[in-house]
Amino acid sequence: MASMRSTAPAGAQGLGVQRTVQEAYGTAMPTQAVAQPRASVRAIARTTWRRLSSVVYLPALAIPAVALLLVGLGRATHWGGADFTGSLTSLRAETIGPLASALIVLFLVTERLRPAQARPLVARGHRHDLLFTVLNVVFVVPMVTALTLALSDVVRRLAPWVVLPKFGVVPAWTVILVILVAMDFFNWLVHLANHRVRTLWRFHELHHSQEDMNVLTVFRTHPLIHVSYLLAVVPALVLLANGELPTLLLVAYGGSVAFAHSNTNLSFGLLGRVFVSPNYHRIHHRLIGPQDVNLGFALTIWDQLTHRAVFPTPETVGADTGLPQRPLRVEQEGPRPHHLKVFAAQLLGPFRPMDEPVELASVKESVSKEPRAASDPPEERW
């Protein structure tokens, strides 16, 4: 009896200890077992990201991914029934057709007669931008056609309410004017994003790397930067049932953008307060100072409304252009231009690993930071 009395408490105590162990480890042990693999997965993910980031700038891969997705959807739906060949022909006519080519030749002559900076007849920048012109004709125009048709089909399928019905009472010229102005605003908005969003800037910096500004610099763009500019298609989609921009007007719009990049000393006088001139846009490309000013494509009003307009003065007319410290390879480096090697490096540039964060200078940050010498004339800022 004594032994039974002595073992009963021991047995109960043993059961109590067992319950305590089960309660303690039965819940805690699985949590640790789950927590450890999760921590391991996170550690592996961080290590993998660091290793890949040492080889390629990973966020930049999102842009070609979007392009491939859109093109794949477009091919799968046969471009929503749209005429791909006809659309491609129209875009080629707007970009490099007879009238567009004639305008480019005219602007090339104009910048020789009234240059903002003295240049050789055929500078390195001219030859290099010619490579990008060929790239645009051969590859970019078909790609932009595919992206535009694919986006239009996706929007009509997923959000058909976006396309407004025909107004009837609104004149066609009014619709065309609204589309044109809205398109210019969306181009301005995307242009601003390309300067403020680091991933987009990696694709846009190529355009700003030109140190010999000329008419062909308008073609000096990375092919994938056009993914961001698809936003400018929205106004035409919204008002699709009410009209579309005539080819002649699109050629004129593209011509004005090309002329703004020319090495021409011209400010348009009073019209320069409304329309982008070569002297106005050169300030956007200048080497020293923030480059998120004068972002307008054809109209200056968007810059003025956001206090980003800097109007030209005699001192800004011949300003040097390009990127400070040349973070991207350019043809002006070295005794020889090495056009093809530099061309390939520039196309791969957005994906190069980032050694350290890039701080993009902004007009909002530098308005009052840099004191100006008493002898320096003030810039005419709106």
Cα–Cα distance measured from residue 114 to residue 265, given in angstroms and rounded to the nearest whole number:
6
Burial of residue 99, with CB atoms counted within 10 A of its CB: 0-12 exposed, 13-18 middle, 19 or more buried? middle
* pLDDT, position 289: 86
- In this structure, are residues 286 and 363 in contact, taking their beta carbons and an 8 Å threshold? no
- Band (pLDDT 50/70/90 cuts) for residue 1 is very low
Per-residue CA distances from 89 to 109, 240, 341 (Å): 27, 20, 31
Kindly report, residue by residue over 300-332, the tens digit of the pLDDT: 999 999 999 999 999 999 899 999 988 999 999
Q: Band of the pLDDT at 72, cuts 50, 70, 90?
A: very high
DSSP summary character for residue 380: E
Distance, in Å, from the CA atom of 140 to the CA atom of 41, rounded to the nearest integer, reads 41
- At CA 164, angle to CA 159 and CA 169, rounded to 5? 175
Is the backbone of residue 78 left (phi > 0), alpha (psi -120 to 50) or beta? left
Quick one: pLDDT at residue 290?
Answer: 86
Distances (CA, A) of 144 to 88, 92, 136, 228, 239: 9, 11, 10, 11, 20
Length of the chain: 382
**Residue 183, C-beta contacts closer than 8 angstroms, at least 6 positions apart:** 232, 235, 236, 245
CB-CB contact of 250 with 95 (8 Å) = no
d(CA 102, CA 99): 5
pTM score, whole prediction: 0.83
Best CA proximity match to 250, nearest among 176, 188, 144 = 176
Do residues 133 and 221 make contact, with C-beta atoms less than 8 angstroms apart? Answer: no
What digits encode the pLDDT tens for the residues 216-272? 999 999 999 999 999 999 998 888 778 888 999 999 999 999 999 999 999 999 999
CB atoms within 10 A of CB 148: 23
Q: Is the pLDDT of residue 342 over 60?
A: yes
Domain ranges in the chain are 20-53, 56-367
Output the average pLDDT for the chain.
85
Q: In angstroms, rounded to a whole number, what is the distance separating the alpha carbons of residues 273 and 304?
A: 9
Residue 278 to residue 274: CA distance in whole angstroms: 13
Q: Which residues contact 339 (CB under 8 A, 6 or more apart)?
A: 124, 127, 128, 131, 331
> What are the Cα distances from residue 135, in Å, to 18, 139, 157, 186, 343?
76, 6, 32, 25, 11
Per-residue confidence (pLDDT) for residue 32, from 0 to 100: 54
